[in-house]
Amino acid sequence: MPDAEKPGVRFPSAFTILFGLIILVAVLTWIIPAGEYQRVASEALGKDVPVAGSYAPTDANPQGVFDVILAPVAGFYDPVAYTANAIDVSLFVLIIGGFIGVVTATGAIDAGIARAMVRLKGRETWMIPFLMALFALGGTTYGMAEETLAFYVLLIPVMIAAKFDALTAVAVILLGAGVGVLGSTINAFSTVIASDAAGVTFADGLVLRLIILVLCWIVTVGFVMRYAARVRADPTKSLVHDKKAANEAHFLKETPAEAAEFTGLHKIVLILFALTFAVMIWGVSIGGWWMAEMSGLFLAAAIIIGLIGRLGEGKLVESFVNGARDLLGVALIIGLARGIVVIMDAGHITDTILHAAEVGVAGLPRTAFILVVYWIEVGLSFFVPSTSGLAVLSMPILAPVADFAGVKRELVVTAFATASGMVNLITPTSAVVMGGLAIGRVPYERWLRFVWPLLVVLTLIIMAALALAVTFGAPA
């Protein structure tokens, strides 16, 4: 029996962890001095950015019990860290749940999984590198993150039917897209914004980021495939083995052997299902869509599929509501995670932490400088999980300091991108991490137990790449 499930030793739920972090940050607002940078409008970024060297103490605003209670509520609608409001993401998740509920009610998903398992028999493991390559492509090009929440309820049943486990499916999506964001090459929400804020072009440092992406992707795929093969050979090796029966009952409404015949109507529904995701990817990457447009797309698709699937008005509505209900906990976790940053900003300690980083790297040798910047960005990423928000916050401060250390600014951008991507594989302040784990029914501590050896290897790869780039590259 896993330690977390032994009588008397129960690891806290995601809700408890996040609320505990809100309380901890509120306590810090009574300890850490309040301060702020002056900010100026940036036309290029469309945001206000801090001015290096302008930090000054300000009036303290320590957060009390009432602020802690309101933080999860404010987390839903405050524009935290220059990213989408949590209410937008939460509504998207609920509509995704309703959409999946409608498609499931047609019987197409169960029948499709059964057909796929027959066709893939003996080759199921090779789904992993193929899917992780697609997710990594989305991560490195446009920062695929919240969009991945739509794929969990699709992929988890497939992986369970293939004799893997829910954790394998979560790893394929979360690590696949995450390693792409870690190695952001042309990601507009990471390297492009960071490069603009640092005063360089996003093409600067592109080769180094591509090398990091390829190396980290190879290691990550090998890590996930090794775990998946172990679980398939011996299901007791699964880190969520104690949840096996419950997960099969929840995610597989029918076993492959019991699934209904794969009819022409099922094929039409699954084609519309896949087309919906294709349109979503097009809309986000090319059409300028975001949460409202994606939510509208899945709502419309649910209605169309329900009508074509001949569910009738009553069953269509019931299936949609039940599907949304299944993801209600995920939607609540998203707002709770954003509440942490609400407390930090209201307590005026975010800029104080950044100022400490600015002072800490001054005067360091070149190699030490870039490695310390990497670890500073790692620390900041726990409090600001939004890559675009952290880029706007930290790059205008740390990039100019690099000039005095003789380090090229594009290396600071790469250190930021890799650090932010690394932390967003595990941080409990990320709605993507906590939401994905909640959908997959993977306890947070199990995820940490699974992923920590990979994080060590990826960190060593990144640090070696940054150190070699500084050592053999020309000074700034």
- What are the tens digits of pLDDT across the range 181-195? 999 887 777 887 888
Contact 284, 142 (CB under 8 A): yes
Residues 6+ apart with CB under 8 A from 127: 120, 158, 159, 162, 172
65 burial (CB, 10 Å; 0-12 / 13-18 / 19+) is exposed
Share of the chain above pLDDT 90, in %: 36
pLDDT class of 434 with cuts at 50, 70, 90? confident
pLDDT value, residue 254: 46
Q: Is the pLDDT of residue 26 over 90?
A: yes
Q: Is the pLDDT of residue 259 over 50?
A: no
pLDDT value, residue 227: 96
- What are the tens digits of pLDDT across the range 169-185? 999 999 999 999 999 88
pLDDT class of 386 with cuts at 50, 70, 90? confident
Share of the chain above pLDDT 70, in %: 90
What region, left, alpha or beta, does residue 394 occupy, with left being phi > 0 and alpha being psi -120 to 50 degrees? Answer: alpha
Q: Is the pLDDT of residue 3 over 60?
A: no
Q: Is the pLDDT of residue 4 over 50?
A: no
Task: Let me know if residue 3 belongs to a domain.
Answer: no
Indicate whether this model's pTM tops 0.85. no
Q: Is the pLDDT of residue 264 over 90?
A: no
Domain count, the chain: 1
- What are the tens digits of pLDDT across the range 215-250? 999 999 999 999 999 999 999 999 999 888 888 888
Q: Is the pLDDT of residue 293 over 50?
A: yes
Q: Is the pLDDT of residue 285 over 80?
A: no
Can you tell me the distance from the alpha carbon of 323 to that of 154, in angstroms, rounded to the nearest whole number? Answer: 13
Closest residue by Cα to residue 157 from 264, 224, 256, 241: 256
Residues 6+ apart with CB under 8 A from 213: 136, 140, 179, 180, 182, 183, 184, 185
Which range has the worst mean pLDDT, 213-217, 337-341, 416-420? 337-341
pLDDT value, residue 431: 77
Task: State the greatest distance between any 2 C-alpha atoms of the chain, in Å, as a whole number.
Answer: 70
Average pLDDT for the chain: 84
pLDDT class of 83 with cuts at 50, 70, 90? very low
Can you tell me the distance from the alpha carbon of 312 to that of 260, in angstroms, rounded to the nearest whole number? Answer: 20
Task: Let me know if residue 60 belongs to a domain.
Answer: no
Closest residue by Cα to residue 434 from 143, 239, 148: 148
Q: Is the pLDDT of residue 167 over 80?
A: yes
Task: Let me know if residue 170 belongs to a domain.
Answer: yes
Higher pLDDT, 20 or 335: 20
- Residue 27: which domain range? 14-35+65-472
- What are the tens digits of pLDDT across the range 95-142? 988 888 898 888 887 777 667 666 767 677 888 998 899 889 888 887
Q: Specify which residues 56 forms β-bridges with.
A: 36
pLDDT class of 145 with cuts at 50, 70, 90? confident
Task: Let me know if residue 420 belongs to a domain.
Answer: yes
Region 1-23: mean pLDDT is 65
How far out from the chain centre does Cα 468 lie? Answer: 29
pLDDT value, residue 117: 64
pLDDT value, residue 391: 83
Task: Let me know if residue 186 belongs to a domain.
Answer: yes
Region 418-434: mean pLDDT is 89
pLDDT value, residue 73: 85
pLDDT class of 11 with cuts at 50, 70, 90? low
How far out from the chain centre does Cα 450 lie? Answer: 17
pLDDT value, residue 416: 95
Which range has the worst mean pLDDT, 45-54, 86-95, 393-402? 45-54
- What are the tens digits of pLDDT across the range 43-73? 666 667 788 778 899 999 999 999 999 888 8
Region 378-399: mean pLDDT is 82
Task: Let me know if residue 238 belongs to a domain.
Answer: yes
Q: Is the pLDDT of residue 157 over 60?
A: yes
pLDDT class of 10 with cuts at 50, 70, 90? low
Task: Let me know if residue 56 belongs to a domain.
Answer: no
Task: Let me know if residue 360 belongs to a domain.
Answer: yes
Question: Tokens at residue 433, please?
Answer: 């991490």
Region 305-328: mean pLDDT is 89
